[in-house]
């Protein structure tokens, strides 16, 4: 129940241990094709260029940026959390000129601030924004920002590491040009792969580069020659991480069997129950209700309670991991994930019960059982509605 990796569905763990096929075996190629096709459904896109990158979420972030950015390009980066900062670090490593559109941690970006950043330079190559900030638990509404980017003829990139598979991501419907995610959060597989999707305009930008992509492993053109082929032939690039592809294949099948809408609703209802439980224990949530990313909840640590002692007790005595705060929230907030297979009522009850015990042991005052009762009530209301 930390910010990821989440627990992995038993079928996915089983898929991991299947015998390893060759990376050019026709049976494995068929699995690759199915993975791309299922990823398109989850991303809600027709983009041909939809593949998993052979690295964890940050490799998807880097693949998205290194293929698009050329030295001197202006890139507006929305920065209201840790992962916006990471994007900005990567952009500068690739010679891009970072224009910071800043917001407060725990709040969404203000479209007016983003517009002002876009207007600060004559041309903008890319506007990059984190959809669900794993460091703050904020879900950024995207359509308005996408419109701003497109008005300036800029590409729009969305970091969907914590959103995809847990909350609506509509790549084609919203007009996202580049998106990436990670397998270890709401997609329900172990960490190790990073699904990406590039729309036509983004692919055209890659193909129209004046300079070679300064990253061999993540060079999109070579990756697509392996994943999609060219003139009916697939060109070997690197050896795909076969077992991880099996895991993603199975995880996507689990997602589509559940149904995207139902899955999103499950994440929503369980998180609302968690929120109700935390508040019934007297804790305060960091993010305003309308901007909460359901897969990840941030909650303030109550006064007089020792951050590390609580997290250690939860881990050691209850086998429950929650995440520490990052940046300005270090020592001030916890991050509680309800992602993929972890988003389940039994986990919420186990966590609220354990948290109450640990807090009370630290001298915190809470009404016995109030958290679980509120969570139960919230779940009943959701299922009745």
Q: Where are the beta strands (DSSP E) in the chain?
A: 49-53, 74-79, 97-102, 126-130, 132-133, 138-139, 155-159, 178-180, 194-198, 296-300, 323-324, 333-337
Which whole-number Å values give the CA distances from 268 to 75, 200, 298, 347, in the listed order? 33, 32, 15, 15
**Binding test (CB under 8 A) with its own copies, winner from 90, 155, 206, 286:** 90
Output phi, psi for 334, to 5 deg. Answer: -110, 155
Please report how close the Cβ of residue 243 comes to its own copies at its closest, in angstroms: 4
Among the listed ranges 125-133, 147-155, 239-247, 289-297, the one in contact with its own copies (CB under 8 A) is 239-247
> Any idea what DSSP says for residue 177?
S
Binding residues for its own copies restricted to 311-330, rule: CB under 8 A: 315, 321
Closest to its own copies by CB, 131 vs 341, is 341
What are the contacts of 312-317 at 24+ separation with CB within 8 A? 313/358, 313/361, 314/351, 314/354, 314/355, 314/358, 317/354, 317/358
Interaction between residue 13 and its own copies (CB under 8 A): yes
Size of the site for its own copies (CB under 8 A): 56
Please report how close the Cβ of residue 29 comes to its own copies at its closest, in angstroms: 12
Please report how close the Cβ of residue 329 comes to its own copies at its closest, in angstroms: 14
Other C-beta atoms within 10 Å of 46: how many? 12
Please report how close the Cβ of residue 52 comes to its own copies at its closest, in angstroms: 12
Among the listed ranges 57-65, 248-256, 298-306, 352-360, the one in contact with its own copies (CB under 8 A) is 57-65
**Binding test (CB under 8 A) with its own copies, winner from 214, 282, 328, 353:** 214
Binding-site string for its own copies from residue 216 to residue 235, where x marks contact by CB under 8 A and - marks none? xx------------------
Interaction between residue 16 and its own copies (CB under 8 A): yes
Closest to its own copies by CB, 59 vs 148, is 59
Please report how close the Cβ of residue 24 comes to its own copies at its closest, in angstroms: 8
Residue 300 CA to residue 281 CA, distance in Å, equals 12
Residue 341 CA to residue 251 CA, distance in Å, equals 10
**Binding test (CB under 8 A) with its own copies, winner from 48, 107, 215, 225:** 215
Pairing of strands 178-180, 323-324: unpaired
**Binding test (CB under 8 A) with its own copies, winner from 36, 45, 50, 56:** 56
Percentages helix, strand, coil for the chain, rounded to the nearest 5? 45, 15, 40
Peptide bond into 5 cis (omega under 30): yes
Interaction between residue 166 and its own copies (CB under 8 A): no
Binding-site string for its own copies from residue 170 to residue 199, where x marks contact by CB under 8 A and - marks none? ------------x-x-----xxx-------
Residue 195, phi-psi category: left (phi > 0), alpha (psi -120 to 50), beta (remainder): beta
Residue 79 CA to residue 86 CA, distance in Å, equals 9
Residues that bind its own copies (CB under 8 A): 2, 4-8, 13-14, 16-23, 25-26, 54-59, 61-62, 66, 86, 89-90, 92-95, 182, 184, 190-192, 212-217, 237-244, 247, 315, 321
């Amino acid at each position: 129940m930390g910010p990821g990796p989440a627990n992995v569905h038993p079928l996915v763990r089983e898929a991991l241990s299947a015998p390893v096929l060759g990376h050019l075996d026709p049976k494995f190629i068929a699995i690759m094709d199915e993975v791309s096709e299922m990823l398109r459904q989850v991303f809600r896109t027709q983009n041909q260029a939809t593949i998993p990158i052979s690295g964890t979420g940050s490799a998807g972030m880097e693949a998205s940026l290194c293929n698009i950015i050329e030295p001197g390009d202006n890139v507006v980066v929305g920065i209201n959390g840790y992962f916006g900062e990471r994007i900005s670090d990567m952009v500068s490593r690739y010679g891009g000129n970072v224009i910071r559109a800043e917001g407060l941690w725990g709040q969404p970006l203000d479209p007016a601030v983003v517009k002002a950043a876009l207007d600060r330079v004559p041309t903008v190559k890319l506007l990059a924004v984190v959809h669900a900030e794993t460091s703050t638990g904020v879900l950024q509404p995207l359509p308005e920002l996408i419109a701003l980017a497109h008005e300036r003829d800029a590409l729009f990139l969305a970091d969907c590491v914590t959103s995809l598979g847990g909350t609506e991501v509509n790549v084609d419907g919203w007009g996202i040009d580049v998106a990436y995610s990670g397998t270890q959060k709401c997609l329900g597989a172990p960490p190790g792969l990073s699904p990406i999707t590039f729309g036509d305009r983004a692919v055209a930008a890659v193909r129209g580069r004046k300079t070679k992509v300064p990253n061999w492993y993540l060079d999109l053109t070579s990756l697509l020659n392996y994943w999609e082929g060219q003139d009916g032939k697939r060109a070997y690039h690197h050896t795909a991480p076969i077992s991880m592809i099996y895991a993603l294949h199975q995880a996507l099948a689990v997602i589509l069997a559940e149904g995207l809408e139902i899955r999103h609703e499950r994440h929503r209802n369980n998180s609302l129950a968690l929120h109700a439980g935390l508040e019934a224990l007297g804790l305060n949530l960091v993010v305003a209700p309308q901007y909460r990313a359901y897969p990840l909840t941030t909650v303030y640590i109550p006064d007089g309670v020792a951050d590390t002692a609580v997290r250690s007790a939860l881990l050691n005595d209850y086998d429950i991991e929650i995440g520490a705060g990052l940046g300005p929230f270090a020592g001030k907030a916890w991050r509680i994930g309800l992602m993929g297979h972890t988003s389940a009522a039994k986990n919420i009850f186990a966590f609220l019960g354990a948290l109450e015990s640990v807090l009370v042991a630290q001298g915190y005052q809470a009404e016995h059982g109030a958290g679980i009762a509120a969570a139960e009530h919230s779940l009943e209301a959701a299922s009745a509605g």
